[in-house]
Amino acid sequence: DTAVSQTPKYLVTQMGNDKSIKCEQNLGHDTMYWYKQDSKKFLKIMFSYNNKELIINETVPNRFSPKSPDKAHLNLHINSLELGDSAVYFCASSQYRDRSYEQYFGPGTRLTVT
């Protein structure tokens, strides 16, 4: 059983389109995250939700909007896609243990904007 799943795995779309990436976790975790990994393989946090409430919102364009319908889901909607949005997007969830949060990552969604 997949712990953290993302759909789609690959997404190719044109500039200006609106797209969504879905994430689901079946681990019972309260906190979920979206990360972006750029072409240089550098990971950066975008958003974090705890119990459906936004707790981290890094400096990302407001074209990116996370939506958490329930604790097990955190979807990422992107409006007016730009070439620079091409990247791999990772969803993760976390469990509080040993005074910090152990991360469980999804397989990633490779977004290509043409």
Binding site for another protein (CB under 8 A): 33, 40-45, 48, 55-56, 58, 88, 90, 97-105, 107-108, 110
Report which of 66, 90, 77 is spatially closest to residue 4, judged by C-alpha positions: 90
Q: How far is the CB of 91 from another protein (least distance, A)?
A: 11
Report which of 109, 104, 102, 31 is spatially closest to residue 73, judged by C-alpha positions: 31
Q: How far is the CB of 89 from another protein (least distance, A)?
A: 11
Q: Are 90 and 48 in contact (CB under 8 A)?
A: no
Q: How far is the CB of 57 from another protein (least distance, A)?
A: 10
Closer residue to another protein (CB): 44 or 67: 44
Closer residue to another protein (CB): 38 or 79: 38
Burial 71-80 (b: 16+ CB within 10 A, else e): bbbbbbebee
Closer residue to another protein (CB): 14 or 39: 39
